[in-house]
Amino acid sequence: MSTQKHAFQAEVAQLLHLVTHSLYSNKEIFLRELVSNASDACDKLRFEALADPSLYGEQPALEIRIAIDKDARTLTVTDTGIGMSEAEAVAHLGTIAKSGTREFMGKLSGDQKADAQLIGQFGVGFYSGFIVADRITVESRRAGLPPEAGVRWVSTGAGDFEVEAITRAERGTSVILHLREDALDFADGWRIRELIGKYSDHIALPIKMEGEQWEDGQEEGQPGRMVKTGEWETVNQATALWARPRKDITDEQYVQFYEQTAHDWQPPLAWTHNRVEGSTEYTQLLYIPSHAPMDLWERERKAGVKLYVRRVFIMDDAEQLLPRYLRFVKGVVDSADLPLNVSRELLQESRDVKAIREGNTRRVLGLLEDLAKAEPAEAPPAEGGDDKAAAPRDKYAAFWREFGAVLKEGLGEDHANRERIAKLLRYASTTTDTPTVSLADYKARMKEGQKAIYYITADTLAAARNSPQIEIFRKKDIEVLLMTDRVDEWALSHLREFDGTPLQSVAKGAVDLGDLQDEAEKKAAEEAAEHVKPLLDRLRAALRDQVEDVRVTTRLVDSPACLVVKDGGMSTQLARLLKQAGQPVPDTRPVLEINPEHALVRKLADSPRFDDLAHILYDQALLAEGGLPEDPAGYVRRVNALLV
Ligand code: ADP
Ligand code: MG
């Protein structure tokens, strides 16, 4: 039998260093991680055995056993789950496959509490064993392989590990921690029971420990001690929480269950738990997390809802159970109707799944509506250090801050619920920098004669707020919603109106303030337009490669010019984003609108440098909305020529 040495993947070595050096004051989390791996391993076996029941062999029970050997100073976590072959042990316990790991490294802050949460989120759980162990031995045998195909993996957590073939009678895995001197308090049965109660009570598998009892010293004066009784006792609740009636479950138990299933150690914002009866029967326990995971925007991101069928775990990331725009939701769905051998393909076609998905969507939207109702209108921002759970009244603001941009995708994705989603939207506006303005709030404040809900999209709040396009709105004290999420423009293209009032981008089309403009203003504008006609022609000629048209506007107050796109056209901001992302962009040119009252515009007509000034006007309008001149050096040259 030969032993083979393997080096850890560089990232693992780095991670190990961080784990052991940054988590020493939060040691106990290792147990939670190892139990969660053991539980995952049992779930995997259960799932594979649906197709091949012989995998259970002569050991049908799925369970976790924790054993302590005080003399050897070891703590062993054993499971009867799927196990690992030698190749799997090398691959899974020597590398980090997850793409987010590099990001994880960057996020480590040195704040132990925050870092401990990250460890769980990134699934680097196994290595947390090295917080308390100076050596870890893993012995395993994969389900379906013979006893001689066992593997032993040993490492001190420094640079490399060794593997050798062993004979192992039992299927599954034992993780043996050789406890460090300063972690010997974990070699105590009561301490471990306490930690299981804290972290792993609702693992839906029995976690067993050997019973202990007190034995007096044999002779006078000799101290007594705890001895093992030889009986294995289940030390956790081991029931599926969601299957119990709501009234029997405390808030603490709900939170704890969330932490275990979602691998998120920050309490959730809210949850909803229901047994749904009728033509499709299922139980849903769905949570809204209090903070966004780092991979929320990754396209490959896994969905957060686990699917069970009659308490049997089927799959982890059942994306069919909720629409994509609710991908932040975590939790469990347990169906009474689906077959146990349901595949992903089958899920896609199942009518039951469709009903569950619709039911889940309604519940989550209802939950969000409740949170929004509890919120004071125009809540003050809940910013800064928020490791405290959000106060009940700040919950919707917290939700919106973390997930609002995702929810907006629903406008385009879920037409059936578009109105409900529209009511949940919140934006910053010219009246407030915090995104707290609902469309209903806006409507309630609309001016006499105002016929549209006005909004502007920009890269940043400052750019939106200072955009030339909204000058006239500011002057007339008309509120404009300021939108700065990438998704806004696309999302709004699916929401043409709210409650009978059209939504109108102030950067699209000619501005028509309708009844908000008085007769005198309209007349003055017409006269000005007549007056500058020759100037417009000259500008059109000078800028024919840059713009679609040049026209006069009344929307500008302090700025000489701005760019707008034709009604229904793609905004220059979106076009820029797409271009940055390497996407094809339709070749549409903007319209240059000029302010005939502005001194610069007046000067233009008689200037000997007409061509240069025209280009400066255009480039500055581009700059004002966050764009860049096509020829930055040319721009600088022209401006400098003017300066000297
Ligand atoms: P994660 O659990 O998020 O995948 P871990 O670092 O906790 O990350 O575990 C790494 C991998 O090691 C697991 O994905 C799994 O393949 C393997 N593994 C760990 N513990 C066990 C176990 N008890 N039984 C089988 N495989 C395991
Ligand atoms: Mg894990």
* Helix and strand numbers, DSSP H then E, in the chain: 22, 23
Q: Atom 14 of ligand 1 has which residue's CA nearest to it?
A: 92
Ligand nearest to the CA of 15: 1
Residue 472 CA to residue 514 CA, distance in Å, equals: 13
| Over residues 537-562, mean pLDDT | 90
What is the tens place of the pLDDT at every residue in 136-155? Answer: 999 999 999 999 999 999 99
- Cα separations (Å) of 505 from 76, 319, 452, 455, 469? 63, 34, 9, 5, 10
Mean pLDDT of 80-102: 83
Rounded to a whole number of angstroms, the distance between the first and last alpha carbons of the chain is 85
Amino acid identity for residue 396 in this structure? Y
Q: Which residue has the higher pLDDT, 42 or 387?
A: 42
Q: Report all structural domains of the chain as residue ranges with CATH numbers, in order of start.
A: 4-215+229-237 (3.30.565.10), 242-395 (3.30.230.80), 413-511 (3.40.50.11260), 516-643 (1.20.120.790)
Least confident piece of the model among 379-393, 506-520, 552-566, 613-627: 379-393
Closest ligand 1 atom, residue 125 Cα: 7
Mean pLDDT, residues 535-547: 93
Residue 169 has pLDDT above 90, yes or no: yes
Q: Tokens 């059109």 identify what position?
A: 540
Give the residue, out of 40, 46, 64, 203, with the most ligand 1 atoms within 8 A of its beta carbon, to mutate for a pocket test. 40
Evaluate if residue 70 carries a pLDDT over 70: yes
Alpha-carbon gap, residue 398 to 271, rounded angstroms: 15
Pick from 71-85, 89-103, 436-450: least confident:
89-103
* Dist. CA 92 → ligand 1 center (Å): 7
- Which pLDDT band holds residue 456 (cuts at 50, 70, 90)? very high
Output the residue whose Cα is nearest ligand 1's atom 8.
123
User: What is the crossing angle of helices 351-374 and 395-408, to 10°?
Assistant: 140
Separation of CA 84 and ligand 1 centre (Å) = 9
| Residues 595-612 pLDDT 10s | 988 988 888 888 888 999
Give the model's pLDDT for residue 409.
94
Nearest ligand, CA of residue 81? 1
Average pLDDT score over residue span 2-27: 81
Q: Is the pLDDT of residue 230 over 50?
A: yes
Residue 141: nearest ligand to its CA?
1
- In three state form, how does the secondary structure of 76-125 look? EEEECCCCCCHHHHHHHCCCCCCCCHHHHHHHCCCCHHHHHHHHHHCCCH
Distance of CA 150 to the CA centre of its chain: 39
Range with lowest mean pLDDT among 21-35, 36-50, 489-503: 21-35
pLDDT at 388 (0 to 100): 39
Residue of 12, 78, 88, 92 to test ligand 1 pocket, by largest number of atoms within 8 Å of CB: 92
The residues lining ligand 1, judged by C-beta closer than 6 Å to any ligand atom, are 33, 37-38, 40-41, 79, 81-84, 92-93, 123-126, 173
Cα of 37 to ligand 1 centre, how many Å? 5
In this structure, of 288-302, 325-339, 544-558, the range with the lowest mean pLDDT score is: 288-302
CA separation for the pair 266, 248 (Å, rounded): 23
Distance of CA 314 from the midpoint of ligand 2 (Å) = 18
How far apart are the CA of 33 and the centre of ligand 2, in A? Answer: 6
Specify the pLDDT at position 341: 67
Token pair recorded at residue 107: 């996020």
Percent of the chain with pLDDT over 90: 49
Rg (Cα) of the chain, in Å, rounded? 32
Alpha carbon of 500 to those of 407, 440, 491: distances in Å? 22, 11, 18
Of the listed ligands, the closest to the CA of 91 is: 1
Q: How far is the CA of 128 from the centre of ligand 1 (A)?
A: 12
pLDDT digits (tens, 9 = 90+) for 237-283: 888 899 999 999 999 999 988 988 887 878 999 999 999 998 899 99
- Kindly give the distance from the C-alpha atom of residue 283 to the centroid of ligand 1, in angstroms, as a whole number: 28
Atom in ligand 1 nearest the alpha carbon of residue 127 = 6
pLDDT tens by residue, 326-380: 999 999 999 988 876 677 777 888 899 999 999 999 999 999 999 999 866 554 4
Neighbours of 131 (CB within 10 A): 26
